[in-house]
């Protein structure tokens, strides 16, 4: 129980009575400042993080989240990062890329096809075609010996494909040993490769 003559209360009353009087409108100014601070919008990421933190996550939801990520990971294996490898010839294929190819139905499964060409004066040769997106960086060809033919292996799905050789990064040359592709779309010669079902 606290008595009126308590020394602590007396000291507190004395200290408070010594404070300067409150200026008129001070309370209103403080409230306006607080309101103005609240009105300033937070950046998007801060709001998102705050909302996320305010959301309660049940153990069941967390379990579902983890399970979903495992399922996505299982089905996405071999597709992310390997999609290009799967159809790129001339380079070594990763195990997952080979596995994803093996899982395809036979009629759409890419098969390795060897291509070779004699281009004695070429410094670099790459095979480009619809099987590698006409990208010269995908399938560079290797020279057999010092002055031998250029060769590479591409992976192509069964069916008809058009291709050509990119010589020294500038000139497209058709394969002299393959039928020509008749195309009125672009000037220049391409060749045709028929790939049979494995």
Partner 1 sequence: MSNFIRWTARLLGVAAIASAPQFVGAQEARLLAIRDDATRDFVRQFVEAARVRGTPTEPLVSRALEGVAFKADRKRIEQAMAALEKRLRRSRDLLGAKATADEVAAGADALAADVPAGMIQEMKKLAPQRQITVELGVLTELVAKGISPKVAAERIKELMARGATGAQLTELNAAVQQDVALGIKPVAALELRGRGVMSLLPPPASVNSAQRR
Q: Residues interacting with partner 1, by CB under 8 A? A: 52-53, 56-57, 62, 65-66, 69, 72, 76, 79-81, 83-84, 107-108, 128, 130, 133-136, 157-160, 162, 164, 166, 172, 179, 181-182, 185-188, 190, 192, 194-197
C-alpha torsion angle, residues 59, 61, 67, 68 (rounded to 10): -160
Residue 161 burial (C-beta neighbours within 10 Å; 0-12, 13-18, 19+): buried
Query: C-alpha angle 108/109/115, rounded to 5°?
Result: 110
- C-beta of 122 vs 192, nearer to partner 1: 192
Least gap, CB of 79 to partner 1 (angstroms):
8
Are 134 and 162 a contacting pair, CB within 8 Å? no
Q: How many residues does the chain have?
A: 198
Least gap, CB of 128 to partner 1 (angstroms):
6
**Calpha distance 193→131 (Å, rounded):** 10
Least gap, CB of 92 to partner 1 (angstroms):
20
Q: Is 198 helix (H, G, I), strand (E, B) or coil?
A: coil
- C-beta of 87 vs 150, nearer to partner 1: 87
- Kindly provide the b/e burial profile for residues 129-151, where b requires at least 16 CB atoms within 10 angstroms of the residue's own CB: bbbbeeebebbbbeeeeeeeebb
Least gap, CB of 103 to partner 1 (angstroms):
16
- C-beta of 42 vs 83, nearer to partner 1: 83
- C-beta of 1 vs 170, nearer to partner 1: 170
Strand ranges inside 142-185, DSSP E: 142-143, 150-156, 159-167, 171-173, 180-181
Least gap, CB of 183 to partner 1 (angstroms):
8
**Calpha distance 176→167 (Å, rounded):** 14
Least gap, CB of 132 to partner 1 (angstroms):
9
- C-beta of 82 vs 93, nearer to partner 1: 82
- C-beta of 93 vs 190, nearer to partner 1: 190
């Amino acid at each position: 129980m606290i008595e009126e003559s308590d020394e602590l209360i007396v000291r507190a009353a004395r200290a408070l009575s010594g404070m300067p009087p409150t200026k008129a409108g001070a309370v209103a100014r403080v409230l306006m400042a607080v309101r103005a601070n609240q009105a300033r919008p937070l950046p998007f990421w801060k709001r998102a993080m705050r909302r996320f933190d305010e959301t309660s996550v049940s153990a069941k939801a967390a379990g579902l989240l983890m399970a979903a990520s495992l399922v996505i990971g299982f089905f996405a294996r071999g597709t992310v990062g390997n999609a290009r490898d799967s159809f790129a010839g001339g380079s070594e294929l990763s195990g997952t890329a080979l596995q994803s190819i093996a899982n395809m139905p036979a009629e759409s499964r890419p098969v390795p096809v060897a291509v070779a060409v004699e281009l004695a004066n070429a410094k670099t040769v790459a095979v480009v075609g619809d099987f590698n997106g006409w990208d010269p960086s995908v399938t560079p060809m290797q020279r057999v010996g010092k002055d031998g033919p250029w060769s590479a292996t591409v992976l192509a799905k069964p069916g008809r494909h058009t291709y050509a050789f990119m010589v020294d990064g500038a000139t497209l040359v058709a394969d002299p040993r393959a039928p020509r592709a008749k195309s009125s779309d672009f000037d220049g010669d391409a060749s045709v490769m028929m790939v049979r079902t494995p």
